[in-house]
C-alpha cells in the first residue's frame, strides 16, 4: 500500500510521474535503451529536454526573453551563483527563515547585504512595510519557508530586480513571472527527484553580471543559457521526471487548479489544527504556508509529540516530524499531496486527541 507521504523533500511525486519514469528506466519509448543509458545529445533526450522547457513556459506563462535552465548543485548552489554573478556592491535580502539565512551567508562573501528579518519572532511571520535602499543590485526573497511554514502569496514590485527562491511553493499558484528577473529552486519539493535545479532567468539581466569579476565557467549563467542546459551532461533522468510532473500539472488544469488544490489541503489541515484541544500552529494566520504546515502540541501535551508521530505512522502517515531546529510537526503538502492524504492525517489527529486529550 502506498503511504501518505508528508516528507519535506525529497517528497511525494504524482503517480503518473513515478510510473512513467519507472517505465523509461527500463526502456525509453521502446527504443531498447534505458533513459539512464541514452546520450544526452541524442534526439530522444533532446525531445525530453525541449518538452520540459516548453511545458514550463506554457504552464507558468513565461514571457519572451526568459531562459529556462535545468542545472545541478541544488538551490544551495544558486545561493552562491547569484551573488557571484550579480552582486556588485550591495544587495537586499529578506530573511524569512533557514534557507534565506543560508542564501545571505553566501551573498556576504561578495558584497554588502542589507537584511530585513523576521528572526525576532522565530520566523513565524513575513515582514511587511519595510524600505528597500535605492542603490541595491537586486532583491532576494524566499517565497515559501519550508522549515518555518510561512509563505509569500504576492508577486512583489520593489522597482528593483527581484530574485526568488521558489523551491518549496513552485507551481502551486499562478505567478507573474514578469515581476522577477530570476526564479529558481531545487526540484525535490514540487517538481521531481533531488538532483536537478530549475532556473528561470530574464536574458537581459545578464547585462548586470559583474564585469570585472572572474567567474568559473560552470558558475556563469551565460554558459548554461548558451549551452541550452547542455554545456555539460545534465541530470537526464531527473529532467525526464520533471517533464512528467509538468505534463501531470497541465493535465489537471495548470496553476489555477494547483492553487485550488493547495487551498483545499491547507484549509482542511489548518482547520483541524485550529479547532484542536491538543495541537496549535505557531505561524501568524495570514502568512501560513500552504506547502509546509507547521504545528506543535500545546504545552500541557508536549511530552506526547513523539508518541503522536508513532501513532500517525501506524495510520500510514509518514514524514510529519518537524525540522530538528523547530520541533513539533510539519506536514509538507506539496502539489502531489492529495485530499485523501490530508484527511488520513486529520483522522489520525482526531483519533489521537479523543484518546489522549
Ligand atoms: C530545500 C530548500 C533549499 C535547498 O535546496 P537544495 O536543492 O537541497 O540545495 C533551498 N531553499 C528552499 C526554500 C528549500 O526549501
3-state secondary structure labels for all residues of the chain: CCCEECCCCCCCCCHHHHHHHHHHHHCHHHCCCCCCCCCCCCHHHHHHHHHHHHHHHHHHCCCCCEEEEEECCHHHHHHHHHHHHHCCCEEEEEECCHHHHHHHHHHCCCCEEEEEECHHHCCCCCCCCCCCCCCCCCEEEECEECCCCEECCCCCCCCCCEEEECCCCCCCCCCCHHHCCEEEEEHHHCCCCCCCEEEEEEHHHHHHCCCCCCCCHHHCHHHHHHCCCCCCCCCHHHHHHHHHHHHHHHHHCHHHHHHHHHHHHHHHHHHHHHCCCCEECCCCHHHECCCEEEEEECHHHHHHHHHHHHHHHHCCEECCECCCCCCCEEEECCCCCCHHHHHHHHHHHHHHHHHHC
- 305: CATH: 3.90.1150.10
Question: How many whole angstroms from 87 Cα to the centroid of ligand 1?
Answer: 21
Pocket test for ligand 1, best of 168, 169, 199 (most atoms within 8 A of CB): 168
The reply to whether 32 and 111 lie within a common domain is yes
Say what the pLDDT of residue 1 is. 85
Q: How far is CA 102 from CA 40, 97, 109, 201, 247, in A?
A: 32, 9, 12, 21, 32
Query: Which member of 12, 88, 99, 287 is catalytic?
Result: 99
Query: Is 135 part of the annotated catalytic residue set?
Result: no
Do the beta carbons of residue 191 and residue 249 sit within 8 Å?
Answer: no
Per the structure, the count of domains in the chain is: 2
- Is residue 32 domain-shared with residue 75, that is, in the same domain? yes
Is 87 a domain residue?
Answer: yes
Q: Is the entire prediction scored with pTM above 0.95?
A: yes
- Residue 173 near residue 291, CB atoms below 8 Å: no
Note whether residue 2 is domain-resident.
no
Ligand 1 centroid to Cα of residue 184, in Å, is 10
Q: How far apart are the first and last CA of the chain?
A: 30
CA 85 to CA 182: how far, in whole Å? Answer: 12
**CB contact at 8 A, 283 and 329:** no
Residues 209 and 304 in one domain: no
CATH of the domain at 104: 3.40.640.10
- Look up the domain containing 244 and give its range: 15-252
Q: Are residues 247 and 296 in the same domain?
A: no
What is the DSSP pairing of strand 279-280 with strand 292-297?
A: antiparallel
State which of 11, 72, 99, 140 you would mutate to test the pocket of ligand 1, scoring each by most atoms of that ligand within 8 A of its C-beta: 99
* Same domain, yes or no: 228 and 303: no
- Which of 252, 271, 287 lies at the terminal end of a domain, its last residue? 252
Same domain, 217 and 261: no
Cell of 321: 516530524
What whole-number distance in Å separates Cα of residue 259 and Cα of residue 171? 8
Domain boundary among 233, 252, 271: 252
CA–centroid distance, residue 99 to ligand 1 (Å): 7
Q: Which residues line ligand 1 (CB under 6 A)?
A: 9, 74-76, 99, 142, 146, 165, 167-168, 186, 189
Output the furthest CA–CA distance in the chain (Å, rounded).
66
- The protein residue with its alpha carbon nearest to ligand 1, atom 2, reads 167
Q: Is the domain of 138 the same as that of 109? A: yes
| Catalytic (active site) residue 247 | no
Which residues, other chains included, contact 47 with Cβ-Cβ below 8 Å and sequence gap of 6+? none
Would you state the cell numbers that stand for residue 273, as one nine-digit string? 489544527
In a domain, 273, yes or no: yes
| Three cell numbers, residue 245 | 510532473
pLDDT in tens, the chain (357 residues): 899 999 999 999 999 999 999 999 999 999 999 999 999 999 999 999 999 999 999 999 999 999 999 999 999 999 999 999 999 999 999 999 999 999 999 999 999 999 999 999 999 999 999 999 999 999 999 999 999 999 999 999 999 999 999 999 999 999 999 999 999 999 999 999 999 999 999 999 999 999 999 999 999 999 999 999 999 999 999 999 999 999 999 999 999 999 999 999 999 999 999 999 999 999 999 999 999 999 999 999 999 999 999 999 999 999 999 998 889 999 999 999 999 999 999 999 999 999 998
Is residue 330 included in any domain, yes or no?
yes
Residue 233 falls inside a structural domain: yes
- Pair (43, 151) in one structural domain: yes
Residue nearest (by alpha carbon) to ligand 1 atom 5 = 75
What distance in angstroms lies between residue 96's CA and the mean position of ligand 1's atoms? 13
Whether 274 and 184 share a structural domain = no
Identify the residue whose C-alpha is closest to ligand 1 atom 7.
Answer: 74
User: Ligand 1: which atom is nearest the Cα of residue 142?
Assistant: 13
Q: Nearest-CA neighbor of 225 among 330, 49, 34, 68?
A: 68
Domain end (from 207, 229, 252): 252
* C-alpha 55 to ligand 1 mean position (Å): 22
Atom of ligand 1 nearest to the CA of 187: 7
Q: Do 201 and 271 share a domain, yes or no?
A: no
Q: Is 108 a catalytic residue?
A: no
What is d(CA 120, CA 50) in angstroms, rounded to the nearest whole number? 45
Q: Probe ligand 1: pick from 8, 96, 165, 325, max atoms within 8 Å of CB?
A: 165
Tell me how far apart the alpha carbons of residues 294 and 323 are, in angstroms, rounded to a whole number.
Answer: 9
| 182 plus 278 within the same structural domain | no
Domain annotation covers residue 200? yes
Are residues 94 and 219 both part of a single domain?
yes
CA nearest ligand 1 atom 14, residue:
167
Amino acid at each position: 500500500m502506498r503511504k501518505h507521504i508528508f516528507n519535506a523533500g525529497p517528497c511525494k511525486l504524482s503517480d503518473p510521474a513515478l510510473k512513467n519514469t519507472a517505465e523509461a528506466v527500463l526502456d525509453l519509448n521502446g527504443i531498447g535503451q534505458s533513459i539512464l543509458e541514452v546520450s544526452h545529445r541524442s534526439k530522444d533526450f533532446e525531445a525530453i529536454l525541449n518538452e520540459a522547457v516548453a511545458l514550463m513556459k506554457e504552464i507558468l506563462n513565461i514571457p519572451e526573453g526568459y531562459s529556462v535552465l535545468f542545472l545541478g548543485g541544488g538551490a544551495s548552489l544558486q545561493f552562491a551563483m547569484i551573488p557571484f554573478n550579480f552582486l556588485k556592491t550591495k544587495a537586499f535580502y529578506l530573511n524569512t527563515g533557514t534557507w534565506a539565512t543560508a542564501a545571505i551567508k553566501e551573498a556576504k562573501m561578495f558584497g554588502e547585504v542589507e537584511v530585513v528579518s523576521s528572526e525576532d519572532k522565530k520566523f513565524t511571520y513575513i515582514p511587511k512595510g519595510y524600505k528597500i535602499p535605492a542603490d541595491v543590485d537586486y532583491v532576494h526573497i524566499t517565497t515559501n519557508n519550508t522549515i518555518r511554514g510561512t509563505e509569500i502569496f504576492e508577486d512583489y514590485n520593489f522597482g528593483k530586480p527581484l530574485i526568488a527562491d521558489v523551491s518549496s511553493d513552485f507551481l502551486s499558484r499562478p505567478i507573474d513571472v514578469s515581476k522577477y528577473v530570476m526564479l529558481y529552486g531545487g526540484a525535490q519539493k514540487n517538481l521531481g527527484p533531488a538532483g536537478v535545479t530549475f532556473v528561470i532567468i530574464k536574458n537581459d539581466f545578464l547585462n548586470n553580471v559583474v564585469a570585472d569579476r572572474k567567474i568559473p565557467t560552470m558558475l556563469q549563467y551565460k554558459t548554461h543559457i548558451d549551452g541550452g542546459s547542455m554545456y555539460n551532461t545534465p541530470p537526464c533522468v531527473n529532467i525526464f521526471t520533471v517533464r512528467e510532473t509538468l505534463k501531470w500539472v497541465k493535465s489537471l488544469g495548470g496553476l489555477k487548479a494547483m492553487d485550488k488544490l493547495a487551498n483545499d489541503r491547507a484549509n482542511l489541515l489548518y482547520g483541524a489544527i485550529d479547532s484542536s484541544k491538543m495541537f496549535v500552529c505557531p505561524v501568524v494566520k495570514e502568512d501560513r504556508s500552504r506547502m509546509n504546515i507547521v504545528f506543535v502540541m500545546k504545552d500541557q501535551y508536549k511530552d506526547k509529540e513523539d508518541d503522536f508521530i508513532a501513532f500517525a505512522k501506524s495510520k500510514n502517515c509518514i514524514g510529519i516530524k518537524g525540522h530538528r531546529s523547530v520541533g513539533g510537526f510539519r506536514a509538507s503538502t506539496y502539489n502531489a499531496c492529495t485530499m485523501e492524504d490530508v484527511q488520513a492525517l486529520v483522522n489520525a489527529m482526531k483519533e489521537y486527541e479523543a484518546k489522549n486529550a
